[in-house]
Structures are given as structure tokens and as C-alpha cells.
Amino acid sequence: MQIDEFVKLAKTRRSIRKFRPDPIPDGCIEKMIDAARFAQSGANAQSWEFIVVKDRATRDKITDLVIESKKYTWDIEKTRLEEIRHPGFAHGRQGEPVSSFREAPVFIVVCGDPRTVQATVLISQFLNNEGGPFAHFLKNIGNATQILQLAAAACGLGAQWVSINSTIEARLKTLLDVPVELSIHTVVPIGYPAYTPAPAYRREVNEITHYEKYDRSKYRSGDDICNFLVNLRKKTIPAYPGKPGQKV
């Protein structure tokens, strides 16, 4: 693959949040996981494991748990000013609609084994400057999840990145019989998109690139960041399905 093809893949991959139920070609999931296992990880710890869920009843239970977690998310999110709330919770929306990713024919549940973080230098367990003891571990899992998403796009499929928070993680582990030492981070529904996503919004290359040292003319004040967030919402709300006022 040449660089232009790679940039095109990076730019055209989009989060898909509503899927057609059509089955996906055999072998795609295994190719995606084959790619994801080559993600970078601190000292090659390879902290990830993947559970491929095709069973309809299990997918429904996972979806229902995620919907339940949105209620907790909404409780916190509604304390923020409306104009900077997460786009899934803007305009009175209280989370993604029930049908949003339920129909995806395959879910990949991304698990991690925190014990593997011992692969890397011990100092990473003690210093907070990289985000605390589990920062390396979480970066490892994030890198593998990113490759899954790119690989899905390369297969012509859509994928979502559904974060799993601690309000449902224990029940998800029980449902999927995940050993106590492991954690669940993300569910990645995979399938054919049921819609054409809105164009991607990203800051321009020249806004975020500094040569040789930080270019202070590009520094953003606190007010600039607030304005950025308000304008970001205007650009990204269309990426989330659902009507104003819709509840999960």
C-alpha cells in the first residue's frame, strides 16, 4: 500500500452507528483481528484479546447493557451546558437510539489483560506523567482497537467504537464468561452501514503541526478551546443518529 492509499483509508474510515443486518463475508473478522494483533504495545505486551459475538441473543443482551449505561452517562452529561454536551446527548437526546448498533451482524468485544503491563519498564507503574500506572495498558488496547476500525474500513465495512464503562462491565464479563483478571474496554459492532455518514471534520494540518518548536501563534487560549468545543458540536452532531428529544 502506498502512502496516498493509506491517507485515503485514514480519511474515509468513519464511525458508523447504524447497520444493515446483512451478513458480512467470511474471513473478514479474522483478517481484522490478524491486523489488530500487530498493533504497537509497550514492550510488545500484546495486552488484547477479542471475543467475536455473532449470536443474536447475546448481541441483544450486550446492546441492552450499553443502553442501560447511557442512562448513567445522561445523568452526568445533563449537568453540562447544552451547547457543549456530547453530541449523542445534545438537543435533549439522551443517548443513542435503541436500534443504533443492535443490527450489526458481528460484535467484537475488545478485552485486555492488565497483568501484561509488567512487560514494560517498571517505572511506568510509578510515574503519573504518562497518565498513571495503567496508561501503557490502555494505550495498548486503544492501538489495537484503532487497527480493528481501519481494517473494517479496508474490508468495505462500517464499525463503531462503543466504550464500555464500569456501570456495566461486571455484568458484561459475566455474560461473556470473561475471567476476573481481564477487563472489557470496547465493543466494536461491525457490518454494512445503513446510511451515508456526514463528512468528517478535522482540524487542518497547519493548525496542529509545529516545526522545530511550538509555534505560539497557534496557541489556543481557554476561550479558544470553549469556542472550539461549541463549534465542534455543530459539526459533529449529525454523526449521531436520533431525533431531538429522543430517549434510549
Residues near ligand FMN (CB under 6 A): 14-15, 17, 160-163, 200, 236, 239
Query: Measured between alpha carbons, how far is 92 from 240 in angstroms, rounded to an integer?
Result: 13
What is the rounded distance in angstroms from the CA atom of residue 123 to the CA atom of residue 2?
38
Residue with cell 497518565: 131
Match 463503531 to its residue by C-alpha cell.
160
Q: How far is the CB of 159 from ligand FMN (least distance, A)?
A: 9
Q: Which parts of the chain fold into alpha helices (H)?
A: 3-12, 28-36, 56-77, 135-154, 166-176, 205-208, 222-236
**242 φ/ψ sector (left φ>0, alpha ψ -120 to 50, else beta):** left
Q: Specify the residue, 118 or 165, whose C-beta has the smaller distance to ligand FMN.
A: 165
Q: Are 100 and 241 in contact (CB under 8 A)?
A: yes
CB of 162 to ligand FMN, least distance (A): 5
Least Å distance between CB 65 and ligand FMN?
Answer: 13
**Integer Cα distance of 189 and 58 in angstroms:** 13
Exposure b/e, 50-89, CB count within 10 A at least 16 = b: bbebeeeeebebbbebbbebbeebbeebeeeeeeebbbbb
Give the C-alpha separation, 243 to 246, whole Å.
5
Give the nearer residue to ligand FMN in terms of CB position, either 98 or 200. 200
Rounded to a whole number of angstroms, the minimum distance from the CB of residue 230 to ligand FMN is 16
Whole-number minimum distance, CB 96 to ligand FMN, in Å?
7
Residue 43 or 200: which CB sits closer to ligand FMN? 200
> Which CB sits closer to ligand FMN, 134 or 161?
161
**Minimum CB–partner distance for residue 219 and ligand FMN (Å):** 24
CB-wise, 138 or 175, nearer to ligand FMN?
138
Residue among 14 and 85 whose Cβ is closer to ligand FMN: 14
